[in-house]
Amino acid sequence: NAGVTQTPKFQVLKTGQSMTLQCAQDMNHNSMYWYRQDPGMGLRLIYYSASEGTTDKGEVPNGYNVSRLNKREFSLRLESAAPSQTSVYFCASSEGYGGDYGYTFGSGTRLTVV
């Protein structure tokens, strides 16, 4: 019954520090996504992975890198955190063609960069 699991749930970083946000899904979904949510701006796509072994940039990729480790796991890395990256980060997965079936979201990682 896990769905999409994100770790950690909360994180505070100092400017310039690096960290990796982890995401794993147990639904055998092919596609996975990373979004950030900022007040009044909805959800913006950072990176996505259509299938294992592929990754592509979304709307706001600068400052981030991703790794599709296997079919289950899709991680997001901040190499040198900046205050502008303070946000809530959501991982999502979808069965096949995600747009038609919708996404299943994790519960989010709340990141503060000071």
Cα dihedral 53→72→82→19 (10° resolution): -110
Nearer to another protein, 15 or 51 (CB): 51
Question: Which residue among 50, 52, 72, 73 contacts another protein (CB under 8 A)?
Answer: 50
- Could you give the C-alpha distances from 28 to 52, 79, 84, 96, in angstroms and in order? 11, 29, 33, 10
Question: Which residue among 17, 19, 22, 45 contacts another protein (CB under 8 A)?
Answer: 45
**Where in 55-114 is the site for another protein (CB under 8 A)?**
58-59, 90, 92, 94, 97-108
Question: Which residue among 21, 29, 31, 36 contacts another protein (CB under 8 A)?
Answer: 31
Q: How many residues interact with another protein (rule CB under 8 A)? A: 29
Nearer to another protein, 51 or 70 (CB): 51
Q: Which residues bind another protein (CB under 8 A)?
A: 4, 31, 33, 35, 40-45, 48, 50, 58-59, 90, 92, 94, 97-108
